[in-house]
Amino acid sequence: MMLQTNLDRAATLKFPSQAVINGKLVGAKTGKTFANIGPRDGKPLNQVAEGDAADIDAAVAAARAAFEDGRWRNKHPREKKRIMFKLAELMERDLEELALLETLDMGKPISDTRAIDIPTAINSIRWYAEALDKVYGEVATTPVERLSYVVREPLGVVGAIVPWNFPLHMACWKVAPALAMGNSIVLKPAEQSPSTALKLGQLALEAGVPDGVLNVVPGLGEGAGQALARHMDVDLIAFTGSGEVGRKLMSYSGESNLKRVALELGGKSPQIVFADAENLDAAAEAAAWGIFFNQGEICNAASRLLVEEKIKDAFLAKVIEKSGKYMPGDPLDPRSVAGAIVSEGQMRRVMGYVGKAQAEGATLALGGKQVRTESGGYYIEPTVFDKVANTHTLAREEVFGPVLGVISFKTEEEAVKLANDTVYGLASGLWTANISRAHRVSRQLRAGLVWINGWDACDITVPFGGAKQSGFGRDRSLHALEKYTELKGISITYA
Ligand code: NDP
């Protein structure tokens, strides 16, 4: 589809603006709204209901009532599956609309929202629908006069708080397994990107998800988000976002009802390139993609590139050559490979890190500037710093933007030490043709994910989540079901 066609469609697009609570589309009880700003041109897209504690109360009450009367949890598994498949079908029907909403809300290229974000979200719904009747309980090895069995039961009311970098995709990583296990949900999307979550709530109703089972309350983090996380009748907060908010969620839990908290936080993920890598061109491609995909606004961004010293200069030249295609363009232009940064605040934050890297002595090898300023939107060119020390702020803190730091090493031991010298532990990667080294190093890396000779080899079948301050709990795969269920042991003693 051409840019003009996308512009025409965007001009007539209807942005969802109301919360979805107990099967109804409603405004905030206070009547308040907030402006949803489009990062493509810095202009408001629409006004959205600003939910707060009263709206969260209503949504949690609806979710609890739905859970208690079993309208979803006790449905025949075949029926739950049919409804979730229907939801996936409706998302596919509205894929173009969802892709446009996501691109305009968040600034990412339309080619990505069409080919990656929305299809991945749909796949999550389908995958967990397929899984829901394939999870078995256990029979324990008890003395012969007793039978003990272990079942997984839904937790109850799940609060899902999601970020703006993959709005629908992250929402579905949580909503799909939570629904599949029979829970009721209150979803709080990020203020920067509420549209697709609200649309998901509407489509769920159309698909036949009963009223009150999936509620979506837009609002601000300190308002609706905090009220949800402090609520006395929420059983779990499933969160993706910053470590700063992750810490608050744990305090809120301690200060309220000790609800469970599952955190998928950020990273400072290392990609290690050894001189013996078989295909340095592919490694350079992955180095660029690993940091510039999604404008670098990705928790598992390969933001630290560790390169063996003897190939560093030649390899850096290759990375710089591959980085050119990530020069941002109009997110609505199907030819754009990179788009806008999500907000003015995030753009300033990223530019702050660029300034700090220079001040601390790293060498700017590419980019470093805002571009497309005439659009009114928020764009930063792909930026690469050479001669970064692992002690520099650029190597320690999550930038969440298109900024790569290159660090060189001499030995395998030093590479592993540098890779692990971070408070984070989400993803990591290495390039080598030596199979012993590949296995040895991958076992030494402290991270939830290790990719060998590739980056972001993601699949719904493989758990996603981190070690150390990258959080705990896993999204994706059957392991994700664990956090949405309670284990119950039942024992029958024979007469
Ligand atoms: P946040 O962690 O602040 O936001 C994530 C979600 O948490 C949003 O829905 C937000 O709501 C909500 N939230 C914010 N404050 C609270 C609170 N007190 N109680 C409950 N919920 C709350 O991320 P930001 O959007 O501010 O981004 C800041 C930095 O965080 C980024 O630069 C990046 O480093 C990191 N980040 C990491 C992500 C990841 O995938 N790991 C994703 C996004 C950001 P609202 O947005 O409406 O305020």
Secondary structure string (H, E, C) spanning 52-118: CHHHHHHHHHHHHHHHHHCCCCCCCHHHHHHHHHHHHHHHHHCHHHHHHHHHHHHCCCHHHHHHHHH
Give 337-358 pLDDT, tens digit per residue: 999 999 999 999 999 999 999 9
Give 286-327 pLDDT, tens digit per residue: 999 999 999 999 999 999 999 999 999 999 999 999 999 999
* Catalytic residue positions, numbered: 264, 299
Say if residues 307 and 277 touch (Cβ distance below 8 Å).
Answer: no
pLDDT at residue 113 tops 80: yes
Reading the block at residue 370, the tokens are 């805002």
Q: Which of 174, 245, 255 to mutate to test the pocket of ligand 1 (most atoms within 8 A of CB)?
A: 245
pLDDT at residue 273 tops 80: yes
- Which atom in ligand 1 lies closest to the alpha carbon of residue 342? 25
The DSSP result for 278-322, as a single string, is S-HHHHHHHHHHHHHGGGG--TT---EEEEEGGGHHHHHHHHHHH
Residues in the ligand 1 pocket, defined by CB under 6 Å: 161-165, 188, 190-192, 220-222, 225-226, 229, 240-242, 245, 248, 265-266, 299, 346, 349, 398, 400
What is the chain's length?
A: 495
- Which atom in ligand 1 lies closest to the alpha carbon of residue 401? 32
Give 43-96 pLDDT, tens digit per residue: 999 999 999 999 999 999 999 999 999 999 999 999 999 999 999 999 999 999
Question: What residue ranges in 347-484 does DSSP mark as E strands?
Answer: 363-366, 370-371, 379-380, 383-386, 403-409, 427-431, 449-452, 471-472
Alpha carbon of 163 to ligand 1 centroid (Å): 6
pLDDT at residue 435 tops 90: yes
- Which atom in ligand 1 lies closest to the alpha carbon of residue 161? 9
Query: Distance between CA atoms of 447 and 445, rounded to whole angstroms?
Result: 6
Query: Distance between CA atoms of 450 and 269, rounded to whole angstroms?
Result: 10
Q: Which of 161, 196, 399 to mutate to test the pocket of ligand 1 (most atoms within 8 A of CB)?
A: 161
Residue nearest to atom 39 of ligand 1 (CA): 241
Cα 421 to the chain's mean position, in Å?
24
Alpha carbon of 246 to ligand 1 centroid (Å): 9
For tokens 């968040």, name the residue.
106
- Beta-bridge mates of residue 259: none
Give 386-429 pLDDT, tens digit per residue: 999 999 999 999 999 999 999 999 999 999 999 999 999 999 99
pLDDT at residue 1 tops 80: no
* Mean pLDDT computed over every residue of the chain: 98
Query: Distance between CA atoms of 296 and 302, rounded to whole angstroms?
Result: 9
Query: Distance between CA atoms of 338 and 326, rounded to whole angstroms?
Result: 5
| Whole-prediction pTM | 0.98
- Beta-bridge mates of residue 152: 487
Confidence at residue 469, expressed as pLDDT on a 0 to 100 scale: 98
Say if residues 439 and 334 touch (Cβ distance below 8 Å).
Answer: no
Give the SS3 label for residue 342. coil
CA atoms within a 13 Å half-sphere pointing along the CA-CB vector of 316: 25
Give the SS3 label for residue 460. coil
b/e map 320-329, b = 16+ CB within 10 Å? bebbeebbbb
Query: Distance between CA atoms of 307 and 73, rounded to whole angstroms?
Result: 51
Q: What is the mean pLDDT of residues 446-456?
A: 97
Say if residues 247 and 237 touch (Cβ distance below 8 Å).
Answer: no
Reading the block at residue 273, the tokens are 């390139």
The phi and psi torsions of 386 (rounded to 5 degrees) equal: -100, 170
Reading the block at residue 442, the tokens are 């991958």
Measured N-to-C along each axis, helices 167-180 and 77-93 cross at an angle, to the nearest 10 degrees, of: 160
Residue nearest to atom 29 of ligand 1 (CA): 242
Q: Which of 346, 380, 400, 474 to mutate to test the pocket of ligand 1 (most atoms within 8 A of CB)?
A: 400
Residue nearest to atom 22 of ligand 1 (CA): 221
